[in-house]
Chains A and B, each alone.
Chain A
Amino acid sequence: MATLGEPQAGTVVRVSGPLMEVDGVEGVAMLEILAVGPQRISAETVAIAGNRATLQAYEYTGGVKAGDAAVATGNQLTGLLGPGLLGQVFDGLMRPLSSAPLWLTPGRSTSEEDPGILARKWTFVPSAAVGEQVSPGDVLGTVPGAGSVEHRVLVPPGISGELAWLASESQVRALDPVARIGSREVSLAERWPVRSARPFRDRPAGAVPLHTGQRVLDLMYPLARGAAAAVPGGFGTGKTMLLQQIAKWSDADVIVYVGCGERGNEMADVLDGLSQLVDERTGGKLIDRTVIIANTSNMPMMAREASIYTGICVAEYYRDMGYDVVVIADSTSRWAEALREFANRNGDLPAEDGYPANLASALAAFYERAGRVTTLGGRTASVTVIGAVSPPGGDMTEPVTTDTQRFVRCLWLLDRDLAYSRHYPAVSWTGSFTRDEEAVGRWHTANGDPGWAKRRARAASLLAEADRLGDLADIIGANSLPGHERMVLLGGRLLRDGVLMQNALSANDGFCSAEKGAALLDLVLDVVDTCQKLVEDGVPATSIEQADHGPVLRAREETGPRDAAAVSSRRAEIVRGLEALR
């Protein structure tokens, strides 16, 4: 806990929505939390001039008057990090929602932790030895039954020395001490100011792909662990659906899902969905590897601003234990709007579209907290960040979208035309990019799939060529094109509908293993090659086009999610069927 000085009482002099100004609070520090008014609502110090502080309130300020008291708490906005996070839902200030009442009224102060969380007892199993020299990141013990990953209790940053005492296997509460290092006591849970990045040793070279289970991403625009991706898309393009699929199916150890200014029904849906799905790797439920931070669009706006940092902070906590963590933030645009709203009320000079001038640096600071690192304890672990962007009017030139593109390794651009023709996921192959294709290609080569890069390149060129010819065909009609070009058009369609499209609702198709994805793509490319040969040999293009391509297109739905062999086994029969057209 960062103690910043003696608590002080000041007086509210101005209230305008979430912005409050307070007089008479000498000694208050930037980011310090104050409790304001009779309901002691939480507000964070964002500017200080003389003895006047400007605060952003984390609650509805209705009824706060000029003359109300504002009491300094001495703390920054902190999260209580310990066992009991996985499987739970928190608000943007990391207060548990699972135990909160139906209607979220103000006055649930940050200073009072949830008694349920503090009272709950956990089994601590020591693993270090008393008398050892320990340093930050070393494992002191574990806590079984705290989610689907082994919960490791680490020596916190900034503490090292001889392990003077370690609790024996026992039942302890979150704030009970479990070890003494030198003269410092270490408790089961620790507090960390959410806006500060947790330290690590270094960033090792090399890229390891995150397998998302979504073919268009894994085959075409792969994301490396520890990298950042942005998903811009207008409304109705399936952004949330794609993010939910990644939350369900990606091969990370821990998922932190931040619902930042989005729909309440959606959060309920994520919670419900993950609670029902089985985690194949552990046999438990997917929710047990997930922490949900929910600050829906009707919850107080400034807590929305904080929720992004709360999410990252939780992710870094699990990273330090040695896990690969994915943070999904939906939507960073709503976070940026909260920044803008407050800056405007504060009278800051606006830059583009009314956003504050520090928008780009704020975005950079957020995405830079992603990384694949060697932790203080020497483990390799990662925080991967996937941020949704909601461009107003689908305008990709607006500030949040353009600034975000500068700081991410991957852009998965969602296309409205694809979505309207019900091509999901509507990831555009003209506007999306990955900066890690070569590194990921090397990883695949070293891990049993040397053909990955070549396959990707062929698919990309087939898509581009089919698009070009499609535009031409729109003008002169496809029948006027030469046969081999018509086969490219056909191939483009098979690739789009049979490989890139994916049915999120299907038991077979919702998730796709890397091997099955490769097999599907190989199947389509083989079919295209066969068709081209047939045309060369004089078979009319029309009869090839009108052949039943159902077996190719239905392969993704009719074979199991990991059944690459079943896909490959279709090949011979499909090719035989085409050869019969001769």
Chain B
Amino acid sequence: MTDRTTTPGAADSENLPRKAEGRISHGDVRELRGPLLVMGDVAGVGWDEFASVDVAGRERHGLVLEVDHDLVTLQVLEGTDGMAPGNIRVRFAGQPLRIPVGPGWLGRVCNGRGEPLDGGPPVTGDTTLPVSGWPLNPVHREPPQEPVLTGISVIDALTTLVRGQKLPIFSVPGLPHLALATQIAAQATSGGTAFRVVFAAMGLTHADIAYVRDRLEERSAAGELVLLLNAADDPVIERILTPRIALTVAEHLAYTEGHDVLVIMSDMTSYAEAVREVSAARREIPARRGYPGYLYSDLASLYERCGRVRGQNGSVTIVPVLTMPAGDITHPVPDLTGYITEGQIVLSAEVAARGIYPPVDALSSLSRLMRSGAGAGRTREDHLDVAAQVLAALARARQAAELAELVGAGALSETDRSYIAYRGQVESGLLNQGHDELRSLDDTLGRAWSALATLPRQELTMLSTEFLDRYLPEGSEAS
């Protein structure tokens, strides 16, 4: 039924005139509960079908969650506020939600349902696609291996992002995760080419949204940015749709138009809360902290839409941003995200308190795909070993620092003291940088070597003699 070459689920039937059945509206309201609307006396409606809900002359939208004989349960994206059994007319679309796709999205600013906020007409395209997407056959996936250079040292050096990867930013409220995400969006290149950026905002404050728009102004003006904005005071349930629209647009730009697309989704915690709200209204049995048991699969249905396809240009790279409630990394949202994504970039209040931007906790952060995206032939021959050594030494430095707090720096061995000096050098020389400072990879790795040079040479056991001779700065402590 589908185009088997490029576009997910591009069916022949989609552009046919809507059948007159679509003009039938239903008014037999059986129940309103939370975001849910139960309609009776309905026949021929399929699961996951899209519906428009007329509430006293204003249009809302719904998705079918359950079909039971002639009863249909819908979740209303705009919420059920103000709805009453007498003022509701529901029309079913006859199929799951599809959106138009194509370059018409570039340069546009829309709300969380994809409706224009920029004064323009609705986005159109020659093709429509179902927003839920289809699973990409893993056999057709190309393992991601081309590095993305963000110009941000801590990421490029220690948690290299790879084209087609999903790498989230874990943060806590108050830290500059949006600054980091927008800096990545503004600076990232792969093989010298910039990305098309699709930014899905879910539950962000208007101040945050204004910040994102200003920072990415140039990308937007150049027609390289799609903004989908669901603000904190916008309908909650709509957030369930926002990332799906973003990813559907991104997949088409990537696999049909051949672009490298970066999708930033923030804040996934707000998204998950919307999922939880629907689940609670359905009285489903929760798994952990009230979140439904299917949250893993639900999140996976978003994050897994990243990737590269064999024999085709284009890629989808996903950077979800989420704030960990109470900074708890074991909270279901970061936990399940971490199980699905290929690593994580963790921001820490403690690092931020030492005045470092971006405040990345390098030891808790990880890019699983770095091993295939960095090193000889990808970035630089010494990259992986340098990263491993920098991190191992940081782990040791952390121990030394903890010990120093207990027994005093004076009681430390000379080696331990050199580790503490090393940590200072890593933080000020390598990790800390400006909000719009773009560093080359050679600059970044040079800074890493300078920091390592503060350690005695025999401590650098993860680096080969060859690399030490070639890259370790002359006249350092270590030589």
User: Chain A: residues with CB nearer than 8 A to chain B?
Assistant: 13-17, 39, 60-67, 89, 97-98, 100-105, 107, 234-236, 259, 261, 263-265, 267-269, 271-272, 294, 296-301, 334, 337, 340-341, 344, 350, 353-354, 390, 392-395, 420-422, 473-480, 497, 505, 542, 545-546, 548-550, 553-554
**Known A14-B68, A264-B136, A497-B461: A62·B285 in contact at CB below 8 Å:** no
Q: Which residues from A are CB-within-8-Å of B285?
A: 344, 350, 354
* A98 to B411 alpha-carbon distance, docked (Å): 62
Query: In the complex, what residues of B have CB within 8 A of residue A268's CB?
Result: 138-139, 141-143
Residues of B within 8 A of A301 (CB): 294, 297
- Known contacts A478-B413, A550-B458: does B47 contact A97 (CB below 8 Å)? no
The stretch of B177-185, B191-199, B260-268, B365-373 in contact with A is: B365-373
CA distance A334 to B371 in the complex (A): 26
Task: Return B363 CB to nearest CB of chain A, in Å.
Answer: 5
Q: Which residue on A lies nearest to B399, using beta carbons?
A: A474
When the two chains form their complex, are residues A66 and B138 in contact, meaning their CB atoms are under 8 A apart?
Answer: no
Residues 289-324 (chain B) with a chain A CB within 8 angstroms: 293-294, 296-297, 300-301, 304-307, 309
Measured CB to CB, the nearest residue on chain A to B364 is: A420
A-B pairs with lowest CB-CB distance, top 6: A393-B330, A297-B300, A235-B338, A421-B395, A62-B48, A298-B304
Q: Which of B316-373 contact A (CB under 8 A)?
A: 330-332, 335-336, 338-340, 342-344, 363-364, 366, 368-369, 371-372
Report the separation of the CA atoms of residues A434 and B408 in the bound assembly, to the nearest whole angstrom. 42
The reply to whether B288 and A103 contact each other, CB–CB distance below 8 Å, is no
B143 x A265 contact (CB < 8 A): yes
With known contacts A14-B67, A267-B138, A297-B340, A334–B458 Cβ distance under 8 A: no
Using Cβ atoms and an 8 Å threshold, which residues of chain A touch B476?
A: none
Q: In the complex the two chains form, is A15's CB within 8 Å of B164's CB?
A: no
B312 to chain A, nearest CB (A): 9
Q: Is the CB of B339 within 8 A of A390?
A: yes
Chain B residues lying within 8 Å of A98, measured Cβ to Cβ, are 139
Q: Which residue of A lies closest to B369 (CB)?
A: A265
Report the minimum CB–CB distance from B289 to chain A (whole Å): 10
A sample of 24 cross-chain residue pairs with beta-carbon separation below 8 angstroms, ordered by A number, consists of A14-B66, A16-B67, A62-B49, A66-B43, A67-B43, A102-B5, A102-B6, A103-B135, A236-B344, A236-B366, A265-B144, A265-B164, A267-B141, A268-B143, A269-B143, A297-B301, A298-B300, A298-B305, A340-B287, A354-B287, A392-B336, A420-B363, A473-B403, A477-B403
CA distance A366 to B304 in the complex (A): 27
Which residue of A is nearest B344, CB measured?
A236
B470 at the interface (CB under 8 A from A): no
- B391 pairs with A422, CB closer than 8 A: yes
Query: Complex formed: what's the CA distance from A300 to B300 in Å?
Result: 11
Contacting pair B47 A61 (CB below 8 A): yes
Residue of chain B at shortest CB distance from A300 = B135
Asked whether, in the complex, the Cβ of B66 is within 8 Å of the Cβ of A15, the reply is yes
Please tell me if the beta carbons of A479 and B134 are within 8 angstroms of each other in the complex: no
Chain B residues, Cβ within 8 Å of A105: 1-2, 9, 134
Shortest distance between the CB of A241 and any CB in chain B (Å): 8
Residues of B near any A CB (own CB < 8 A): 1-2, 4-6, 8-9, 43-49, 65-70, 95-96, 130, 132, 134-144, 164-165, 284-288, 293-294, 296-297, 300-301, 304-307, 309, 330-332, 335-336, 338-340, 342-344, 363-364, 366, 368-369, 371-372, 384, 388, 391-392, 395-396, 399, 402-403, 406-407, 411-413, 415, 458, 461
Q: How far is the CA of A105 from the CA of B2 in the complex (A)?
A: 8
Known: A104-B137, A265-B144, A478-B413. A62 touches B293 (CB 8 A): no
Looking at chain B's contact residues, the main secondary structure is: mixed
Q: CA A107 – CA B415 in complex, angstroms?
A: 65
Q: Which residues of B contact A17 (CB under 8 A)?
A: 47
Q: Which residues of B contact A264 (CB under 8 A)?
A: 135-136, 138, 141, 304, 307
On whether the beta carbons of A66 and B69 are closer than 8 Å, the reply is yes
**With a CB–CB cut-off of 8 A, which chain A residues contact B305?**
298
Q: By CB atoms of chain A within 10 A, which of B1, B45, B304, B388 has the most? A: B304
- Which residue of chain A is the closest to B297 with respect to CB atoms? A301
B132 with A62: CB separation less than 8 A: yes
Q: Name B135's contact: one of A299, A474, A478 (CB within 8 Å).
A: A299
A63 touches B46 (CB 8 A): yes
Alpha-carbon gap, A395 to B336, bound state (A)? 13
**Given known A269-B143, A272-B143, A353-B287, contact A102–B137 (CB-CB < 8 A):** yes
Among B138, B363, B366, B384, the residue within 8 A (CB) of A296 is B138
- Which of A102, A341, A422, A550 has a CB less than 8 Å from the CB of B461? A550
Q: Are B47 and A103 in contact (CB under 8 A)?
A: no
- Asked whether, in the complex, the Cβ of A65 is within 8 Å of the Cβ of B143, the reply is no
Residues in chain B near residue A480, CB distance under 8 A = 411
| Distance to closest chain B CB from A8 (angstroms) | 20
Q: How far is the CA of A259 from the CA of B66 in the complex (A)?
A: 30
A61 to B66, CA, bound (A): 11
B141, B384, B458: which contacts A265 (Cβ < 8 A)?
B141
Q: Are B70 and A66 in contact (CB under 8 A)?
A: yes
Q: Which residues of A contact B369 (CB under 8 A)?
A: 265
Query: What is the CA–CA distance of A546 and B416 in the complex, to the nearest angstrom?
Result: 11
Cβ–Cβ < 8 Å partners of B67 in chain A: 14-16, 64-66
On whether A63 and B134 interact (CB within 8 A), knowing A264-B307, A395-B330, the answer reads no
Partner of B296, one of A15, A337, A479: A337
A304, closest chain B residue (CB) = B297
> Which residues of chain A come closer than 8 Å to B458, judged between CB atoms?
546, 548-550
Q: Taking A63-B46, A265-B144, A480-B411 as given, write out 19 further A-B residue pairs in contact, using a Cβ cutoff of 8 Å, ordered by the A residue number.
A: A60-B48, A61-B48, A62-B130, A65-B44, A97-B139, A103-B134, A105-B1, A264-B141, A265-B164, A296-B304, A297-B297, A297-B301, A298-B304, A300-B135, A337-B296, A354-B293, A421-B363, A477-B412, A550-B458
Name the contact of A354 in the complex, choosing from B140, B141, B286, B372 (C-beta under 8 A).
Answer: B286
**Chain B residue contacts of A102, Cβ below 8 A:** 4-6, 136-137, 140, 309
Q: Cβ of A13: which chain B residues have Cβ within 8 Å of it?
A: 68-69
Of A61, A264, A545, most buried by chain B (CB within 10 Å of CB) is A264
- Closest B-chain residue to A240, C-beta based? B368
CB < 8 Å: which of B95, B371, B396 contacts A63? B95
In the complex the two chains form, what is the Cα distance from A421 to B413 in whole Å?
Answer: 21
User: B88 to chain A: closest CB distance in Å?
Assistant: 21
Contacts known (A61-B47, A61-B48, A65-B67); A263 close to B137, Cβ less than 8 A: no
Other-chain contact of B402, A107, A344, A474 (Cβ < 8 Å): A474
CA distance A493 to B237 in the complex (A): 53
Given A477-B412, A505-B371, does the pair A394, B330 have CB atoms closer than 8 Å? yes
The answer on a CB contact under 8 Å between B293 and A344 is yes
In the bound complex, CA of A62 to CA of B9 (Å): 13
Could you tell me if A269 and B296 are in contact, using CB atoms closer than 8 angstroms? no
Q: Which residue in B134, B284, B304, B384 is a CB contact (below 8 Å) of A505?
A: B384
> Chain B contacts of A67 at CB under 8 A?
43-44
> How far is the CB of B255 from the nearest CB of chain A, in Å?
8
CB-defined contacts of B371 to chain A, threshold 8 Å: 505
**How far, in whole Å, are A261 and B402 apart by their CA atoms in the complex?**
40
Taking CB atoms, residues of chain B closer than 8 Å to A64 are: 46-47, 67
Distance of B239 from chain A, by nearest CB (Å): 19
Are B47 and A62 touching (Cβ within 8 A)?
A: yes
CA A550 to CA B463, docked complex, whole Å: 10
Q: Does A341 lie within 8 Å of B293, measured CB to CB?
A: yes
Bound form: Cα–Cα A296–B344 in Å: 20
Chain B residues in 8 Å Cβ range of A550: 458, 461
Given contacts A16-B65, A422-B388, contact A235 B339 (CB under 8 A): yes
Alpha-carbon distance between A505 and B372 when the two chains are bound, in angstroms: 10
Q: What CA separation (Å) do A269 and B372 show in the bound complex?
A: 9
A230 to chain B, nearest CB (A): 16
Whole-angstrom distance between the alpha carbons of A549 and B340 in the complex?
A: 39
CB <8 Å contact, A63 and B304: no
**Across the interface, which residues of B come within 8 angstroms of A549, CB to CB?**
458, 461
- Once the chains are docked, how many angstroms separate the CA of A422 from the CA of B159? 13
| Cα–Cα distance between A89 and B165 once the two chains are bound (Å) | 22
In the complex, which residue of chain B has the Cβ closest to the Cβ of A349? Answer: B285
